Amino acid sequence: MSSTFRSLAGYNYRVWTAGAIVSNTGTWMQRTGQDWFVLTGLTPHSGAAVGVVMACQFGPQLLLLPITGFAADHLDRRRLLLATQAAMGLLALVLGLLTVAGLVRLWEVYGFAFLFGCAAAFDAPARQSFVSELVGEAHLSNAVALNSTSFNAARMIGPALAGLLIAAIGTGWVFLLNAASYLAVIASLCLLRVRSLHRPERGVPTRGGLAEGFRTVRSRTDLRTVLLMLFLIGTFGFGLWLAASMPGPWSFGLALILVGACAQTFTPSSFSLVPLSVAPAMRGRVIAIMFAVALGSTPLGAPLVGWVADRFGPRWALGVGAASGIAAAVVGLRYLRTDPIGVGSLPTPESSRRP
């Protein structure tokens, strides 16, 4: 097997990846269907309502930050993932059944989005940290890169499938298909060879556990830069002025190809840097901080962007995203000017061994 896919030579990582890509595709199908259902089925095309749904879904990443990273670093990650995946599957099943039956209301969608977000807040840092148990530190960089590729492939496939399925069978059935997709990742977790997992040394539980994660971030210029860029883009979304100024749907679609290419470069790179550059015992807490910044900032910007879309039109909403992207680029360029060879990204030998 080529070096590009060397992590897939391992049984555990291969089984996990197969289940994860199915589940991630279903998750993006649900997110797309959920926003569409709120926009067209439960409200008179209210962008603000869609913003509230996004706030409910991603807000728990920030609200639960003190305990999600702790859980990822101190609990059995495989069992934690079994619990979170089962919870999200059950929520998708109930929401799908209510939607198909025509019984769901807007406030209930808000509630389901919040509960789904709570489960996802525990799932994300555990899932990112679990990769190191599947392959060990020797192949971690390759496994993280493939994991990011798999996640972003699902991010592209899921919304496209959701659009086709919504038109063909309806939104409720999209939710039900997502519920079924969780069976794939639960099965993969059950099929893993547990004795072959690379169990890390667990950090000692302390009152200042989360503070240690923040101290790690504060001491690293590269991590601070990436997190600030993720905050700007996570708060207001991706956009480019080019897309906002396009006159028709075909030109707009072509512009979005460029937006997508930029997103698929920035997001995997950012999400790969963190787990590869912190000590294993701190990995869950720092990853939880990353997700809180990248996704937990959505409640701050999503309602605002939705209001801008309602008040001034979707082009101005795209413009807000474009402004945040430009600001993030300025932050990155400033870092490159002050630290062009990446000295600030190199942890000391003592910090890399610190539990």
The percent of residues above 70 in pLDDT, for the chain, comes to 79
| CB contact at 8 A, 26 and 181 | yes
Residue closest to 307 by CA, chosen among 232, 241, 236, 234: 236
Name the least confident of 3-17, 212-226, 261-275.
261-275
Question: Which domain, by its residues, includes 288?
Answer: 3-199+208-353
pLDDT of residue 209: 65
- Summarize pLDDT for 6-53 with one digit per residue, the tens: 888 889 999 999 999 999 999 999 999 999 999 998 998 887 888 888
The CATH number of residue 339's host domain is: 1.20.1250.20
21-25: long-range contacts (C-beta < 8 A, 24 or more apart)?
A: 21/150, 21/153, 21/154, 22/181, 22/184, 22/185, 23/85, 23/181, 23/182, 23/184, 23/185, 24/150, 24/151, 24/154, 24/155, 24/158, 25/154, 25/157, 25/158, 25/161, 25/181
Domain count, the chain: 1
| CB contact at 8 A, 298 and 55 | yes
Name the least confident of 11-15, 54-58, 115-119.
54-58
pLDDT band at 334 (very low <50, low <70, confident <90, very high): confident
pTM of the model: 0.76
